[in-house]
Amino acid sequence: MSANSFKAFTKIVDTLLARDDSGPFTKPVDWQSLGLWDYPKVITNFMDLGTVRSNLSQNNYDTLEAAANDVRQVFKNCCKYNDEGTDFYQLGESFSIRFEEMYKRLSRTTVGSSSPSSSSPSGGYSQLFQSSPYGRPSRSAGRPPLEARKSFSHNLFKITGDELGHVVTVLDQKCPKALTAVAGDQGTGAEAAGGGKGGGGGGGGGAGRDGGKDEEPNVEIVIDEIDDEVFWELKEFVDNKIERRKGSKRKR
């Protein structure tokens, strides 16, 4: 395996380490200080990104796949120890998705006997984390991270009824599983769901179709059920509307 390939892989690890939310993965889990006495019983293969980075610096890996498996182990441990749906589980899953996308890209260039683009300091991989003018990660990022889902849920409160209606219409057409009827007395308009499938923040928002009588159903948006492509499409729509409204106020 060429030195350039390992150099490009190291940049992938550096990209992950540079993220603001990488804290839980940068060094070994201090389970004793944290009082996680069952941690060594559940997790038998300890690994963290800091250790991977150190191993790369010391040329301890014979193959890229060996290094990649250690990175995978970091996020596998996180998801194994934490319950599905918790913040840490979702963080581990989010990092895993981003790593696999960057590594897949590196693998393609390696098979093609060409190194990753050296035109940028990050070897072309940081573009997977680039944002739109409204803060939306590239759609190649795959599953929306927790922060994006929280932002989308909160912003549903800030758009007009017509705009919220558009969101519901798109979901009804493209992702009906993300819509669920709730009792009318649970609220109208954009209402965040504080539990169930919404789970701990960023889970859901409601859109009242009739909005007045208790017997009439409202439609709750279960954000965790929205398909990735549809989510990014709607988040861009909502963010765009809010940004334009802010710009209009500034002009006044």
Per-residue pLDDT tens digits for 179-223: 987 655 444 344 433 333 333 334 455 554 344 434 444 778 988
Reference 49, options 57, 41, 39; nearest CA is 57
Q: For residue 121, is pLDDT > 80?
A: no
Element (H, E) at 192: strand 191-193
- Amino acid (1-letter code) at residue 160: T
Mean pLDDT, range 9-21, rounded to an integer: 93
Separation CA 202–CA 223 (nearest Å): 7
Nearest to 125 by CA among 3, 2, 5: 5
pLDDT top residue among 14 and 142: 14
- The per-residue pLDDT of the chain, averaged, comes to 76
Q: Which residues pair with 193 in a beta bridge?
A: 204
Q: What percent of the chain has pLDDT over 70?
A: 70
Q: What is the pLDDT of residue 84?
A: 83
The pLDDT value given to residue 45:
94
**Mean pLDDT on 43-63:** 95
Model pTM above 0.85: no
Q: How far apart are CA 44 and CA 225, in angstroms?
A: 32
Given a cut of 60, whether residue 10 has pLDDT beyond it is yes
Q: Which amino acid appears at position 115 of this protein? A: S
Interatomic CA distance for residues 234 and 212, integer angstroms = 26
What's the whole-number mean pLDDT along residues 12-22? 93
pLDDT over 70 (residue 48): yes
